[in-house]
């Protein structure tokens, strides 16, 4: 086992569905003591990639945050007898595409917007800390909707402009299971595109109309993911947070309140679970909305 995957947990929320979860380990870092996207944006908050498996075929949703994690995913699935791997990318951010090279011989499916964002940000992605090099691009793209069969399972890919302009969710319509990528997050969403926050709220409203039974986000509580995921109250909680961040009176509270205080109602209802490292995310969100520098 690689030292990078020593804390990787393989969860099985449903038959034929696996979550490859790592992170949320107190006082542990994988890459460096210096600030970096892997430790501070992925591992500290916890992250999962997923696989939907039917016989010899697996659909992998995101390739995780390192090559070693991607190798572990492929090795586990290979041990189950999988010989055909298809990959779907939820969006272009580092911690979701870092393992693409391990699946370079497979079909890698993404929104056209994701491929464009990866190409536009190639220099940053390849030279970030840690670098994603080589940056392996998608080889199949679509614009709004795409369908795949995994055994008898119907799988749909849909574009939602939430968190990032190129958000792609994976939807099992017959089971009512939504793989949300970063469109939904527990404890709160990370505001990476503050200029589009009104669109993100509208898109959350659209998502809420779907007949969703359970939600499996990439960033969430491992025990809740293992037990089957979140209900639709996670959509409401993420929407509540964004709506309050653009409301003048509520946003002023965001400047002075801790995250635990600011989202106390949704924590109390059980829609989200409080995880202290998201206090940093909240401060960064406040800074992004106000264009102020973050002072830790």
Residue pLDDT tens, the chain, 296 long: 799 999 999 999 999 999 999 999 999 999 999 999 999 989 999 999 999 999 999 999 999 999 999 999 999 999 999 999 999 999 999 999 999 999 999 999 999 999 999 999 999 999 999 999 999 999 999 999 999 999 999 999 999 999 999 999 999 999 999 999 999 999 999 999 999 999 999 999 999 999 999 999 999 999 999 999 999 999 999 999 999 999 999 999 999 999 999 999 999 999 999 999 999 999 999 999 987 444 44
Q: How far is CA 149 from CA 52, 54, 110, 228, 251, in A?
A: 10, 10, 16, 22, 44
Q: What is the pLDDT of residue 1?
A: 74
For residue 141, being part of any structural domain is answered with yes
Q: How many domains does the chain have?
A: 1
DSSP secondary structure code for residue 42 in this structure: I
80 in any annotated domain: yes
CA–CA dist 160, 215 (Å, integer)? 15
- What is the sign, positive or negative, of the torsion defined by CA atoms of 83, 139, 133, 25? negative
Q: Mean pLDDT, the chain, as a whole number?
A: 96
Q: Which domain holds residue 36?
A: 3-290
* Residue 294 pLDDT: 43
Q: Specify if 169 maps to a domain.
A: yes
Confidence (pTM):
0.95
In a domain, 295, yes or no: no
Is the peptide bond between 245 and the residue preceding it cis, with omega within 30 degrees of 0?
no
Q: Identify the burial level of 211 via C-beta atoms within 10 angstroms of its C-beta, where 0-12 means exposed, 13-18 middle and 19 or more buried.
A: exposed
Q: Could you tell me if residue 296 is inside a domain?
A: no
Q: Cα–Cα distance between 9 and 15 in angstroms, integer?
A: 16
In a domain, 79, yes or no: yes
Q: How far apart are CA 105 and CA 256, in angstroms?
A: 50
pLDDT tens, position by position, 201-260:
999 999 999 999 999 999 999 999 999 999 999 999 999 999 999 999 999 999 999 999
Q: Let me know if residue 128 belongs to a domain.
A: yes
Q: How far apart are CA 144 and CA 158, in angstroms?
A: 6
Question: Tokens for 226?
Answer: 């293992």
Distance CA 141, CA 69 (A): 24
From residue 173, how far is each of 178, 211, 217 by CA, in Å? 8, 8, 16
For residue 222, being part of any structural domain is answered with: yes
Cα separation, 128 vs 221, in Å, equals: 27
**Domain CATH number, residue 128:** 3.60.15.10
pLDDT at 219: 97
């Amino acid at each position: 086992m690689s030292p990078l995957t020593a804390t990787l947990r393989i969860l099985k929320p449903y038959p034929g569905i696996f979550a490859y979860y790592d992170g949320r380990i107190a006082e542990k870092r994988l890459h460096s003591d210096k600030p970096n996207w892997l430790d501070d944006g992925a591992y500290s908050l916890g992250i999962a990639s997923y696989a939907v498996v039917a016989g010899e075929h697996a659909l992998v949703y995101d390739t995780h945050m390192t090559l070693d994690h991607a190798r572990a995913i492929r090795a586990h699935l290979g041990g189950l007898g999988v010989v055909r791997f298809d990959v779907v990318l939820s969006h272009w951010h580092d911690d979701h595409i870092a393992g693409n090279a391990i699946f370079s011989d497979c079909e890698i499916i993404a929104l056209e917007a994701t491929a464009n964002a990866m190409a536009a940000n190639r220099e940053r992605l390849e030279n970030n800390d840690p670098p994603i090099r080589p940056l392996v691009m998608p080889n199949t793209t679509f614009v709004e909707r795409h369908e795949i069969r995994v055994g008898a399972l119907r799988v749909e890919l849909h574009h939602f402009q939430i968190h990032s302009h190129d958000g792609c969710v994976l939807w099992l319509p017959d089971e009512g299971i939504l793989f949300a990528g970063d469109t939904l997050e527990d404890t709160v969403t990370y505001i990476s595109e503050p200029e589009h926050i009104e669109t993100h709220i509208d898109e959350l409203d659209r998502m809420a109309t779907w007949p969703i039974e359970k939600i499996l986000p990439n960033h969430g509580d491992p025990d809740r993911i293992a037990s089957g995921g979140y209900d639709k109250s996670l959509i409401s909680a993420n929407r509540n947070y964004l709506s309050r961040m653009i409301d003048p009176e509520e946003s002023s509270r965001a400047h002075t309140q801790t995250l635990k205080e600011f989202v106390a109602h949704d924590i109390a209802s059980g829609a989200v679970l409080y995880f202290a490292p998201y206090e940093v995310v909240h401060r960064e969100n406040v800074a992004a909305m106000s264009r102020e520098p973050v002072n830790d």
